[in-house]
Amino acid sequence: MENKDLNNYLQYLEFNRNYSENTLLNYRKDIEEYLVFLKIEHLDLYKIKYSDIRFLLEYYQKNKLKSMTIRRKVSSLKGFYKFLCRNNKAEDNPFDYVLLPKKEKKLPQYLNYNEMIEIFDVIDISSFFGLRNRLIMELLYATGIRVSELINIKLNDININNKSIRVVGKGSKERIVFFNEVAKKYLEKYIKESADKRKDDYLIINNNGKGITTRGIRLIIEKVIKETSIIKKIHPHTLRHTFATHLLNNGCDLLTVQELLGHSSISTTGIYTHVTTSHIQDVYYKTHPRGKNDCLK
């Protein structure tokens, strides 16, 4: 459903807040669904009251939406009304008073190191685009950056000698991430071989020599995973989870991981401590003098 204020809001999120393509699509879908609901219920977008919101929540529950999905939809609408209020299109934000469903605790899925090695090994780097795909996987694992951050890296954001990259994350926040010698090797080779193919300054290019999209990255990852024996359902964010988990498992502190991931709150990074607890427990029993079974003899 076309709405001028919705389009203006999405443009604001894209250009002022640097939201990813996927996030913008979700916001559009959530808000357009809400506009349809308002039309069915004969409610005015700009004059809706908190007392009317219960019908929306009942509608969500009737459709058996998960609490996490409802949280996202309400968050989308809350942000939209905040934008409307700031631009004097609405007097009040009815979603300020909505109590969100309890957040489901879902541990992030990650890959073990042997699975990562298998992913790297199945990529044929004899062709240019095979080399590009290997670099994509190497950088996602080496830096933990989001796909939306990867596709926006430009050549002048990279410091080869210092093995660092300047990336722009959520809310247009800049940070520096680092890569290893293996990633450096593929990065140097790729930059050299892409010189006569690229038509802009974006690091990762598509078949036309221009910057690739998040959807393009997802398709590449799906294609690579199909070549492996891995049966887990892998998303681009899985590599980010893997990066964080492997760092913590090998002794990196939580604050450093928070900085590298670009999380604004330590509580967001804290979910990875649940993943690494079993590893820590295993190390404890293997290394403490009285952690071994034969200590009772």
Taking the chain (297 residues) in runs of 10, the rounded mean pLDDT of each run is 87 88 91 93 91 88 85 92 94 86 70 95 97 98 94 96 92 90 97 95 96 95 95 89 89 86 78 64 67 54
| 60 and 142 co-located in one domain | no
CATH number at residue 215: 1.10.443.10
Q: Which of 41, 66, 97 represents a domain boundary (last residue)?
A: 97
| 148 and 216 co-located in one domain | yes
Please indicate, yes or no, if residue 292 is contained in any of the structural domains: no
Please indicate, yes or no, if residue 290 is contained in any of the structural domains: no
| 42 and 174 co-located in one domain | no
| 164 and 190 co-located in one domain | yes
Please indicate, yes or no, if residue 105 is contained in any of the structural domains: no
Please indicate, yes or no, if residue 26 is contained in any of the structural domains: yes
| 68 and 126 co-located in one domain | no
| 234 and 176 co-located in one domain | yes
Q: Which of 73, 97, 121 represents a domain boundary (last residue)?
A: 97
Q: What is the pLDDT of residue 184?
A: 96
Please indicate, yes or no, if residue 119 is contained in any of the structural domains: yes
| 87 and 143 co-located in one domain | no
Please indicate, yes or no, if residue 203 is contained in any of the structural domains: yes
| 68 and 117 co-located in one domain | no
CATH number at residue 81: 1.10.150.130
Our count of domains for the chain comes to: 2
Domain around 35: 4-97
- 192-207 per-position pLDDT tens digit: 999 999 999 999 999 9
Does the pTM surpass 0.85? The reply is no
| 135 and 275 co-located in one domain | yes
Please indicate, yes or no, if residue 291 is contained in any of the structural domains: no
Please list the active-site residues.
146, 170, 237, 240, 263, 272
HEC profile for the chain? CCCHHHHHHHHHHHHCCCCCHHHHHHHHHHHHHHHHHHHHHCCCCCCCCHHHHHHHHHHHHHCCCCHHHHHHHHHHHHHHHHHHHHCCCCCCCHHHHCCCCCCCCCCCCCCCHHHHHHHHHHCCCCCHHHHHHHHHHHHHHHHCCCHHHHCCCEHHHEECCCCEEEEECHHHCEEEEECCHHHHHHHHHHHHHHCCCCCCCECCECCCCCECCHHHHHHHHHHHHHCCCCCCCCCHHHHHHHHHHHHHHCCCCHHHHHHHHCCCCHHHHCHHHHHHHHHHHHHHHHHCCCCCHHHHC
Please indicate, yes or no, if residue 296 is contained in any of the structural domains: no
| 129 and 253 co-located in one domain | yes
